[in-house]
Structure 1
Amino acid sequence: MEITFEEKQTVAVLHVVPDRIDASVAIQFKDSFRDLIRDWSGPVVLDLQNVVFLDSSGLGAVVAARKLLGAERPLILSGLSPAVDKVMRLTRMNAVFPIHANVDDALATHGNASAA
């Protein structure tokens, strides 16, 4: 599971490289996420633009990532494909996660707000 870390303003942007987050990589996803944000104290944008498939294990991994951040730090999702967006809507996770069309939109909203 490859996830890259990029620091933008006061926000960490994690780019998910593979096109699937499913049962075969869910544990690796959580471990990679935890390792990347271990020393980060601000909000995190999870860039899912490459992800075209998310199953229940993958959704559980994304929720676990949210819990790793704690209540004080948001996990913002960006770049959802139609299939991933559908999973988020069907499970009502769109009410749990701030979701943006792309990283730039996420940063425009949460980068400025977290810098204040």
Structure 2
Amino acid sequence: MDLQAEVRDQALVVAVQENRVDAAVAIQFKDKMREVTATPHERVVMDLSLVDFLDSSGLGAVVAVMKFLAPGRKLELAGLTPTVAKVFRLTRMDTVFTLHDTIESAFSGDADAA
């Protein structure tokens, strides 16, 4: 599981460098996210722009990361591809997460959902 993290405007940006987050990698994804988010940043923005496929296990892993960070830290998602965005809409998780069209819009104050 390849994740790249960088600090931007006092937020931790984690770019998922995989095209699939599914049952085969969900546990590894959660473990790697715990490692990467061990920093004290209150805001964590996950860049999913390279992820073309996310199944229910992948969605569960993203939710698990959100719960791991809560209550003191916020997980936001950016760059959802159409297929991944559809999963969030169908499961109504688009009402749970703050979604941004792009990583740039995550830092311009343009949120799609709260």
Is TM-score (shorter-chain normalized) higher than 0.5?
yes
Instruction: Indicate the residue corresponding to 2:31 in structure 1.
Output: 31
Instruction: Indicate the residue corresponding to 1:83 in structure 2.
Output: 83
By relative contact order (CA 8 Å, sep 6+), the higher-ranking structure is 1
| Percent identity between the two aligned chains | 47
* Alignment coverage as a number of residue pairs: 110
Instruction: Indicate the residue corresponding to 1:17 in structure 2.
Output: 17
The CA deviation at 1:72 is 2.6
Which aligned segments of 4 or more residues in structure 1 are displaced greater than 2 angstroms?
A: none
Q: What TM-score does the superposition give when structure 1 sets the normalisation length?
A: 0.91
Where does structure 1 lack aligned partners over 5 or more consecutive residues? Answer: 111-116
Structure 2 counterparts to residues 1-116 of structure 1, below 5 A: 1-109=1-109
Q: What TM-score does the superposition give when structure 2 sets the normalisation length?
A: 0.93
Work out the CA distance in 1 between the residues paired with 2:9 and 2:83: 30
Work out the CA distance in 1 between the residues paired with 2:83 and 2:40: 30
Q: Of Structure 1 and Structure 2, which has the larger fraction of its residues in helix?
A: 1
Residues 10 and 41 in structure 2, CA contact (< 8 A), matched pair in contact too: no
The CA deviation at 1:109 is 2.1
Where does structure 2 lack aligned partners over 5 or more consecutive residues? Answer: none
